[in-house]
Structure 1
Amino acid sequence: MEQSSEEIGDLHLDVAEAYLEEGEYLCALPLLSTLVISEKYNLAVVWLRHAECLKALGHMEASAGSYTKVVDMAPLHLEARLSLATLQQQLGRPDEALKALESMYDSDTLSQDSSAAQKELKLLLHRSTLLKTQGQMQDYLDAMITMISMLLKVAMQRARVCVRSVTVSGKTHLRLVKVKDLLPENDDHVAAYLDNTGKTNVLSKEDWWQLLVTSVLTLGEVQRYAEAELLVESAMEFYSFYDNKPKRKEMEFFGLSATILDRNYYKAYNYIRLMLMDNVNLPQLWNVFNQLTITSQHQRHHRFCLRLLLKHPDNHALCVLCGHNAMVSGSFKHALGQYVQAFQTHPDNPLHSLCVGLTFFHMASQKFVAKRHILVMQGFSFLWRYVELRGECQESLYNLGRALHQMGLTHLAIHYYQKALSLPAQKLEDIDEWTYIHSPSSFSCTGLNNAALPVLHSLSPSFHPPSRLQGIAEDQVDLSREIAFNLSLIYQASGNMEMTRQLINTHCVV
């Protein structure tokens, strides 16, 4: 048989394949082993049948060697590459498994040949799975970005996002970057989109969506937040995702999270603004919106809040936020109107009484004002209501003393400062839903630029903190330093330097 294999090798191959179909692998193996060592039938297809036969018999090492011969002879044979990678992984050779899954085509071929693009996608999908199981996250992201960029090719051109190679620690990796002067390869976006869809139909739309979500989350895990946001921006330009409202909303939340973590508050504001326009009554969105406007230091949210208030005049969060914006801008009467509206709808909220009282004090502190004493009395009436609702604690007494300090009634301010200084700071687990957090940017105090400012809510008025505030240091709810500093200013102005030094050394020196 060995002597006639060169002449009747095709018959041997037919018999061997018949044995394989019947599951008679032991009978097929001698025939295939004879053929692979012949000169005429030493072909890739014969080595493939030989590898399959050895694999079925459990000879993994020998099967991997035969699959290697197939890949060497036919480097574009996808199934052989996938089987070889699986065997190498099972044999404990992860590097050899990854080598079997290296790219088969160059970029030009992939852009022109749909069949080649589909094969490359299958290869990349297996490679990414293998890289993730090995914990090689940067290489895994390279594979994921390559796949996603094939799907979002047209969308990325519209978003002016491209993939570039960079060298990190001596290795080449892929990065998503924003390019201002990126020119599209095809001006007909619709035709390009349809052509790209034909190349990427290996996976269903839902599978592509899961790949996209996984890519965004993984970029976040490795703290590549800017690239995660660029990927979201590109996905928002993809018709199939954008036209699906639930998916579009999820992408918006991913984009918001990525921009906040990247400290790109300008872009984060754009995301939260769109979300609020769709759902103006969701308190969590207002909490995020207010935190972004405080952190970003931009003033463009003022007009947005006013326009939205015209459409939703009964929205409580908008009412209070517009009041805050007016207060910061020095429009005290406008702020008073907004705070009073909030006070009328929620009279038992101590924050509203505090805001109304402070607004009266700011109006009374202006240089030219009629009925100054009436404004002061009205301010104190609301402040006392705030103290009653809030209870006598370090925070409420500090705010009362701070108001007296601002009006120049220092002998009364000393009493409440000292009383507040004698009270312990609230423990985090004891903080209830009416606790206020520092927000120095919310108010400015006339004539006392160096004094600590009133304690105000730094989140939206609908914020209800949990029983224990996470991520806040214990000393952040302790006002003893602010109280001692303001009290020292009073003693310093009166010439009592000993008391000033004692307060500073006791409470303000680290």
Structure 2
Amino acid sequence: MLEDRSKASRARKLLQKKAALKEEKKAAALAAGLDWHSDDANDESEEEHFKEPPLVNLLKDEEQQDLIIDLCKALESLERYYEALDIIKLALKSGHNFFPVEKQQQLRSLGAQMAYYTMDSKHGFDCIKHIVQQHPYSITAWNCYYKVLPRSGKCYSRHCKFLRFFRSKHKDCIPPIVISGHQFTVLSHHQDAAREYLEAYKLLPENPLINLCVGTALINLTLGHRLQNKHQCIAQGLAFLYNSLRLCENSQEALYNIGRACHHVGLVTLAVSYYEKVLAMKEKDHPIPKLPNENWDHAVENHKKDGYCDLRREAAFNLHLIYKKCGAMDLARQVLKDHCTFD
């Protein structure tokens, strides 16, 4: 305690000594008829001259604007993403007063897509955030946002803040609610996820995806140790899954989801019946959704083989696990031979 006081006293005396020395220098300078300039004065710095950027009129011409957009597309086709991204950043920064709104959105869409390939999380997040703000109810914009989000890395905290702000401003917008539910699901916070999904269900009850999300969240919630009435929760979860089955008109995917849910909670008899229904159906391939300005080759690179929408192999594998656990080894081998053998 005494040592701290002595240090404070020495510091105070040093400041007083410096102030006295400064006053002496000021008095001497004024006595000699000179102007007094303090060494630590920052307000009298030299005036900085504004340098006009080169080619200031370049971005005012519509043909030059189209040329920049075409150049970015050409660089994207050559997979020179970083160079195209630098041009987009510079164009948006320097030409925001000259570019029309449509072309700015086109550049931001290109920037978000290329940021996905280059892992440029900051610029990609800024671009897609602006697109979502301009089109808050566009499913395509939110699909692009959610595609860039997993690559955002350090921007995750900014994403959470943006999502909270956006939901407070657009309370009836469903995609951010569903995204929040997905985040809780990834963190295994199934009760919070179910709350978010039910909030979306209130706004859009006839959507099969939302019914699927609510059902899976409730099914996952039953596996926790804190829930008391698990049977009721399972029944509620299956009710949402059956509602999704109705909305999907008994599709193969909806049947598989119910079978997988029953398998998950140990209702193997029901699971077997639904897996067998899946095996009796053949689902045709559907086109993969394409985002704006997306390079199609990258989107379908992992789905070149036919049958990527068919779930019979997944159902057969799960069915063989049930047979194997029950001791029916011959049935398990036969199911694998019939449905999981490559030609």
TM-score with structure 1 length normalisation? 0.50
The equivalences for 1:457-476 within 5 A come to: 471=300, 473=304, 474-476=306-308
- Counterpart of 1:405 in structure 2 is 263
- Counterpart of 1:288 in structure 2 is 144
**Unaligned ranges ≥5, structure 1:** 1-186, 430-436, 438-457, 461-469
Deviation digits for residues 61-106 of structure 1, max 9, x if unmatched? xxxxxxxxxxxxxxxxxxxxxxxxxxxxxxxxxxxxxxxxxxxxxx
Q: Assess, with a 3 A threshold, how the Cα gap between structure 1 residues 189 and 384 changes in structure 2: closer, same or farther.
A: farther
Larger of the two Rg values belongs to structure: 1
Tell me which of 409, 415, 426 is aligned to 2:273: 415
Amino acid at match of 1:235: A
**Equivalent residues, number:** 284
Amino acid at match of 1:324: H
The equivalences for 1:55-74 within 5 A come to: none
Contact 1:265–1:296 (CA<8 Å) still a contact in 2?
A: yes
Q: d(CA) in 2 for partners of 1:243 and 1:219?
A: 23
Tell me which of 146, 168, 182 is aligned to 1:310: 168
Q: Assess, with a 3 A threshold, how the Cα gap between structure 1 residues 481 and 208 changes in structure 2: closer, same or farther.
A: same
- Counterpart of 1:119 in structure 2 is none
Q: d(CA) in 2 for partners of 1:306 and 1:202?
A: 40
Tell me which of 85, 92, 95 is aligned to 1:229: 85
Q: Assess, with a 3 A threshold, how the Cα gap between structure 1 residues 407 and 236 changes in structure 2: closer, same or farther.
A: same
Q: Assess, with a 3 A threshold, how the Cα gap between structure 1 residues 252 and 502 changes in structure 2: closer, same or farther.
A: same
Contact 1:290–1:459 (CA<8 Å) still a contact in 2?
A: no
2:131 corresponds to 1:275: yes
Q: d(CA) in 2 for partners of 1:243 and 1:421?
A: 59
Contact 1:235–1:242 (CA<8 Å) still a contact in 2?
A: no
2:256 corresponds to 1:424: no
Q: Give 3-state SS (helix, strand or coil) of 1:370's partner.
A: coil
- Counterpart of 1:505 in structure 2 is 337
- Counterpart of 1:386 in structure 2 is 244
Tell me which of 286, 293, 316 is aligned to 1:484: 316
TM-score with structure 2 length normalisation? 0.72
2:74 corresponds to 1:218: yes
Q: d(CA) in 1 for partners of 2:161 and 2:82?
A: 28
Amino acid at match of 1:361: I
CA-CA distance at 1:408 after TM superposition:
0.7
- Counterpart of 2:179 in structure 1 is 321
- Counterpart of 1:193 in structure 2 is 52
Q: Assess, with a 3 A threshold, how the Cα gap between structure 1 residues 207 and 409 changes in structure 2: closer, same or farther.
A: closer
User: 1 or 2 for the larger relative contact order (CA 8 Å, sep ≥6)?
Assistant: 2
Q: Give 3-state SS (helix, strand or coil) of 2:335's partner.
A: helix
Q: d(CA) in 2 for partners of 1:375 and 1:396?
A: 20
Contact 1:306–1:322 (CA<8 Å) still a contact in 2?
A: no
Identity across matched positions, percent: 27
Amino acid at match of 2:93: E
Amino acid at match of 1:422: A
Q: d(CA) in 1 for partners of 2:99 and 2:283?
A: 50
Contact 1:357–1:383 (CA<8 Å) still a contact in 2?
A: yes
Contact 1:421–1:483 (CA<8 Å) still a contact in 2?
A: yes
CA-CA distance at 1:295 after TM superposition:
5.9
Q: d(CA) in 1 for partners of 2:333 and 2:152?
A: 37
Cα RMSD of the aligned pairs, angstroms, is 3.2
**Unaligned ranges ≥5, structure 2:** 1-45, 292-298
Q: d(CA) in 2 for partners of 1:317 and 1:381?
A: 23
Q: Give 3-state SS (helix, strand or coil) of 1:368's partner.
A: coil
Q: d(CA) in 1 for partners of 2:74 and 2:60?
A: 21
Q: d(CA) in 2 for partners of 1:188 and 1:243?
A: 29
CA-CA distance at 1:380 after TM superposition:
1.7
Q: d(CA) in 1 for partners of 2:273 and 2:84?
A: 54
Q: d(CA) in 2 for partners of 1:267 and 1:418?
A: 48
Contact 1:357–1:379 (CA<8 Å) still a contact in 2?
A: yes
- Counterpart of 1:332 in structure 2 is 190
